[in-house]
Amino acid sequence: MSEAFEPKILAFLCNWCAYAGADLAGVSRLQYPPAIRVVRVMCSGRVDPLFVVKGLKNGFDSVFVSG
C-alpha cells in the first residue's frame, strides 16, 4: 500500500443524529478528509449487514455506520 492511499469510505448516517452531526461539521467549517460517501438512513438500525458487504464488494475500502 502506497503512502498516498486514500480510502473510499461508505458512510451510513442516521438522519436524526449522525447526519445532523455532518451538517454541524459543515456549518462549523470543520475540515476532514474527502473520503466518505454518505447514504442517509432514517435510523442506523436500518443498516442491514448485507449493505456493508455490498459496499465492500462495490469498491469501497471501508464502511462507517453512525447513529
Partner 1 sequence: MDKCTACGLCVEKCPTVVVDKFNEGLGKRKAIYKLYPQAIPSGYAIDAENCRFLGHGKKCQICAKLCPAGAIDYEQKDEMLNLEVGSVIVAAGFKAFDPSGFETYAYASHPNVVDSMQFERLLSAGGPTAGHLERPSDLAVSEEIAKAEKRLKKLGRELKQLEKKHSKSTDEVVEQFKAGAEGEDYERWASMAERLAASESKLADLKEKEAGARPPAKIAWLQCVGSRDLNKCDNAYCSGVCCMYAIKEAVIAKEHSKDPLDTAIFYMDMRTHGKEFDDYYNRAQQGGVRFVRCRVHTITPVPDSDNLHICYVTDDGKLEKEEFDMVVLSVGLEAPASAAELADKLGFDLNQYKFAQTGSFAPVSTSCAGIYACGALQGPKDIPFSVMEASAAAGAAASRLAGARHSLVKEKVFPEERDVSAEALRIGVFVCNCGVNIGAVVRVPEVAEYAKTLPNVVYVQENLFSCSQDAIEQLIQVIKEQNLNRVVVASCSPRTHEPLFQETLRNSGLNKYLFEQVNIRDQCSWVHSNNPDAATVKAKDLVRMAVARGSLIEPLPVPSAPVTPSALVLGGGVAGMVSALNLGQQGFKVHLVEEKERLGGQALKLNKTWRGENISDFVSKLIDDVNGNENIDVHLNAKVKEASGFVGNFKTSISSNGGGDVLEVEHGAAILATGAHSIKPDEYLYGKNERVFRWHEIDKALETDLVRNASSAVFIQCVGSRQPDRTYCSKICCTFSVQKAVELKELNPDMDVYILYRDMRTYGEREDLYREARARGVIFVRYDLENKPVVKETDGGSLEVTVMDHVLGRPLTLKPDFITLATAIYTRGIEELGRMFKVSISKDNFFLEAHMKLRPVDFATDGVFVCGMAHYPKPIEESIAQALAAAARAANILSQKTVEVEPIVSVVDQEMCIGCGLCEICCPFGAIRLVKIEGTGYRAENISALCKGCGSCAAACPQKAIDMNHFRDSQIFASIQAGGAAA
The three grid cell numbers given for residue 62, joined into one nine-digit string: 471501508
The strand pairing partners of 39, in sequence order, are: 12
In the complex, minimum distance from the CB of residue 3 to partner 1, in angstroms, rounded to a whole number: 17
Angle 53-32-46 from CA coordinates, rounded to 5°: 35
Closest CB to partner 1 among residues 1, 49? 49
For the segment 2-41, give every residue that binds partner 1 (CB under 8 A). Answer: 8, 10, 15, 19-20, 22-23, 25-32, 34, 36-41
**Rg of the chain in Å (alpha carbons):** 13
Q: Is 66 in the site for partner 1 (CB under 8 A)?
A: no
Q: Is 62 in the site for partner 1 (CB under 8 A)?
A: no
